[in-house]
Structure 1
Amino acid sequence: MSKVLVSGLLNYETTARIRGFPVEYYPIDYDFFGVNSSLSGVAFNIAKAMTVLGNDVSLASLVGNDLVADMFYAELKRLGIETGHVVRKLKDTPASVVLYDESGRRQIYCDLKDIQETAYDFSGNMLDDADAVVACNINFSRPLLDMAKKRNKLIATDVHVLSNPDDDYNRDFMRYADILFLSDEGISWDKKDFLRALGDRYHNQVIVLGMGAKGAMLYMPHQNVIVEQPACHVDNVKNTVGAGDALFSAYLHYHLSGLTPVEALRRAQMFASLKIRSHGAADGFVTPDEIEKNIH
């Protein structure tokens, strides 16, 4: 069992299934069971996924003094995730609305409230037993990067949609990350060249590019090796929201378990594929035994 500190966003998420993009105007649509609300946020999704996979997770985040925060505390306690570092410091807990269609395309409206202007007081002992630190790319996680690096902790982060290797907002997260994840959605030039540009700048151990239904691309800069992995296709797909968080979580789990990057990514893709048979971003996570049953 690995011990992992996750620092990042908690938010209340509502997903709404739509007929397609662009969205045409009509005053009301009755789509039974097409609208769902759940506890979510990148840090929550990762913390829950890694707990289901068998890790000991500690979560650092900021919430408001509201009913949604009470719901998070109750659910984290039920999951066995430590809540002592989840601090009521915001005016309100962040929230999001996700529109998605049957093809898997999505449009996200994220209301971060005052989280980007609010600092988190990280104490040194939070890192004492951690085998890895997940620093989600939210402003309050920035001080954690240098703290973790000075203690020689493995740092993993997902910068999500990125269009420029020199992206100012994400530069610190990319520079400190041993394991770096991102999506291909914002990349307009050759993907392999983009990965090499990241590796040249930030010298990460591993970079993984999630490409949705097209699979994933794994780059190991120190070996100058790029591996393309096809997606694992499953039936009964309901919603692809949260698939990237699932891929990231499972990869880190298997990396910490000692698997090679290729084998870790292979299992992470199966974990993410099985997850999207559920609606919510933090729903549908399966155990390692279930992954092994489905690996071919």
Structure 2
Amino acid sequence: MTQKIVVAGAVSLYMSVGIQEFPVRYTSTSSPRWLACGVSGAAGHIARILKALGDDVRLCTVVGRDLVGAGIAAEFDREGLLGPGFVEGSESSSGVTLVTPDGRRMGFPHLTPVNQVTYPWDLFDAEAAEADLLILTNAKFVRDLVTPASRLGVPIAVDVHLIADLADPYNRPWLEAGEIIFCSHERLPDPPELWVAKVFDRYPRCRLVGIGRGGQGALLGTRDGLLIRVDAVTPREVVNTSGAGDALFATFLHVWRRTDDPIRALQTAVVHAGWKIGHHTPVTASLTSGELTVLKTSYPPPTVIGRWDARSSDAVQT
């Protein structure tokens, strides 16, 4: 059964540049190892993944009346994602990502042009009609939509990315509204299982907490105490880790909504993210549901099931 999923957030035109190392040493000119250009941004990447997996996706975003915006609109039109949720601004978002040979990346997102736009609530409300899930990225122009969206009676999933403080005033609306909350491990002040416990204690609406752990894979806690750890797998050579968190988040949501099985969903999400980072521009490469099923069979990720609500010694490895 097809799910209707609304995704709100930024889309950008990104240039990815292969460099030799960090830090970048100054020289007046330098040829990149490789260079690729594509349409990205968290909301755009998530929408493309869900579309490829078979969902009915409605993208709510801001695109400028400029050359970059024309390219973005043409790309999403080609992919069947251009729709009434696109709001016109004066300029589009763009960015650059520097990528080393081991896949590490440093992004330079330029979101100022779209951050200044007020996204119309009436338009978002219309797009959200009869939706099965709302994915609200933490783009600035989405912030004013979060609280009224939480009153629509539709499950909300959020990714607060590089969060370090559960009292963070900027991310608080998303944390209060999210039934599914994902983030990166990079800046967490606590061990993952303790962070999961703190999220559930502070935000009663939350049902699932996911943490992307980079080369270590991912972790997920459920409100009833389950803790799932899935190790990373890399079906291809690691080329560019940009967007790995978006791939993890989007794929988990697709599988979990269809199966209600958080273990299967997290395993599948880790496999998809691991495959995508083998591409120069991961945002342009997504698997279909059937292709992902076959890949997961060939690369089953090691998984350990335990508890976050007790320091248990009865974890089960699968």
> Which moved further from structure 2: 166-175 or 228-237?
228-237
Following superposition, the deviation at residue 116 of structure 1 comes to 2.2
Q: Which residue of 2 aligns with 1:104?
A: 103
Following the alignment from structure 2 to structure 1, what is the Cα–Cα distance between the partners of residues 93 and 180? 27
User: Which amino acid is the alignment partner of residue 215 of structure 2?
Assistant: A
Following the alignment from structure 1 to structure 2, what is the Cα–Cα distance between the partners of residues 71 and 43? 16
Counting only pairs closer than 5 Å after superposition, residues 87-236 of structure 1 correspond to structure 2 as 87-89=87-89, 91-123=90-122, 124-203=125-204, 204-220=206-222, 222-236=223-237
Following superposition, the deviation at residue 142 of structure 1 comes to 2.3
Q: Which residue of 1 aligns with 2:36?
A: 36
Following the alignment from structure 1 to structure 2, what is the Cα–Cα distance between the partners of residues 151 and 23? 47
Following superposition, the deviation at residue 167 of structure 1 comes to 1.2
Following the alignment from structure 1 to structure 2, what is the Cα–Cα distance between the partners of residues 183 and 117? 26
The answer to whether the 8 A contact 1:210-1:217 is kept is yes
Following superposition, the deviation at residue 28 of structure 1 comes to 2.1
Q: Which residue of 2 aligns with 1:73?
A: 73
3-state DSSP of counterpart to 1:150: coil
Following superposition, the deviation at residue 213 of structure 1 comes to 1.0
Root mean square deviation of aligned Cα: 1.5
The answer to whether the 8 A contact 1:92-1:113 is kept is no
Following the alignment from structure 1 to structure 2, what is the Cα–Cα distance between the partners of residues 288 and 174? 29
Structure 2: segments with no counterpart, 5+ residues: 301-318
User: Which amino acid is the alignment partner of residue 83 of structure 1?
Assistant: G
Paired residues in the alignment total 293
Q: Which residue of 1 aligns with 2:304?
A: none
The answer to whether the 8 A contact 1:277-1:284 is kept is no
The answer to whether the 8 A contact 2:63-2:73 is kept is no
Structure 1: segments with no counterpart, 5+ residues: none
3-state DSSP of counterpart to 2:161: strand
Following the alignment from structure 2 to structure 1, what is the Cα–Cα distance between the partners of residues 168 and 102? 29
User: Which amino acid is the alignment partner of residue 176 of structure 2?
Assistant: R
3-state DSSP of counterpart to 1:257: helix
3-state DSSP of counterpart to 2:112: coil
Counting only pairs closer than 5 Å after superposition, residues 1-16 of structure 1 correspond to structure 2 as 1-16=2-17
Q: Which residue of 1 aligns with 2:273?
A: 272
3-state DSSP of counterpart to 1:266: helix
Q: 4+ runs of 1 displaced by more than 3 Å? A: none
